[in-house]
Amino acid sequence: MEKTLVLVKPDAVRKNVAGKIISRFEDEGFKVVALKKVKLSKEEAGRFYMVHKDRPFYDELCEFMSSGPIVAMVLEGENAISRVRQIMGATDPSKAEEGTLRKLYGSNIGENAVHGSDSPESAAYEIPFFFSGLELVG
Ligand code: CDP
Ligand code: MG
């Protein structure tokens, strides 16, 4: 069993589809082992996305990710990291496959509805960024 961090981004929370996104992951067989709604400061968003600090979109990304509440969760399942990424779809919603969350709910390459850890190393940074061990309830 593998764990991954998923965020419902501010655009999707504003569209009131956080529940639909959580429900989709439940339907796909994942167990929700932690869940909360939080609002990041721009500085916190910057720390979360530190890996992108030299990219041209970093400042805009941090502004966006701190523009409203997000829903953070830890999902558990077989090959959770890659399966979640598949269900999310491509970073750019216009290039995402039909039926993926970004195709369904994303607006553009920045405001793309959902985040999922991209590797075990990312998950190991991202899960404790939001949750303590005590908050993971298998
Ligand atoms: O989220 P994902 O792993 O698919 O993409 P990423 O390359 O790790 O980029 C992280 C996030 O930065 C994306 O989900 C977008 O919100 C944003 N981004 C952007 O605004 N413009 C880009 N050209 C690429 C990414
Ligand atoms: Mg990424």
| pLDDT tens-place string over residues 5-37 | 999 999 999 999 999 999 999 999 999 999 999
For residue 46, what is the DSSP state? H
Whether the model pTM is above 0.85: yes
pLDDT grade for 138, boundaries at 50, 70 and 90? confident
Ligand 1 neighbourhood includes 61 CB (under 6 angstroms): yes
Ligand 1 atom closest to the Cα of residue 64 is 16
Per-residue confidence (pLDDT) for residue 78, from 0 to 100: 98
CA neighbours within 13 Å on the CB side: how many for 103?
Answer: 11
Q: What is the mean pLDDT of residues 44-73?
A: 98
Is any ligand 1 atom within 6 A of the Cβ of residue 57?
yes
pLDDT band for 54, please (50, 70, 90 cuts): very high
Residues whose Cβ atom is located within 5 A of ion ligand 2: 118
126-to-5, 14, 104, 131 alpha-carbon distances in Å: 6, 23, 25, 9
Q: Which CATH architecture has domain 2-131?
A: 2-Layer Sandwich (3.30)
The stretch 65-82 carries a mean pLDDT of 98
Whether 52 is catalytic: no
> What local confidence, expressed as pLDDT, does residue 83 receive?
98
Give the pLDDT mean for 62-77: 98
Residue 91, CB-side half-sphere exposure with 13 Å CA sphere: 5
Q: What is the DSSP letter of 35?
A: E
Q: What is the mean pLDDT of residues 51-63?
A: 98
pLDDT of 44 over the 90 cut: yes
- pLDDT tens, position by position, 90-104: 999 999 999 999 999
Q: Is 120 helix (H, G, I), strand (E, B) or coil?
A: helix
**Tokens 């991202």, residue?**
126
Active-site entry in 3, 24, 83, 115: 115
Backbone conformation region of residue 137, classed left if phi is above 0, alpha if psi is from -120 to 50, else beta: beta
CA dihedral 77, 81, 64, 109 (to 10 degrees): -120
pLDDT at 70: 99
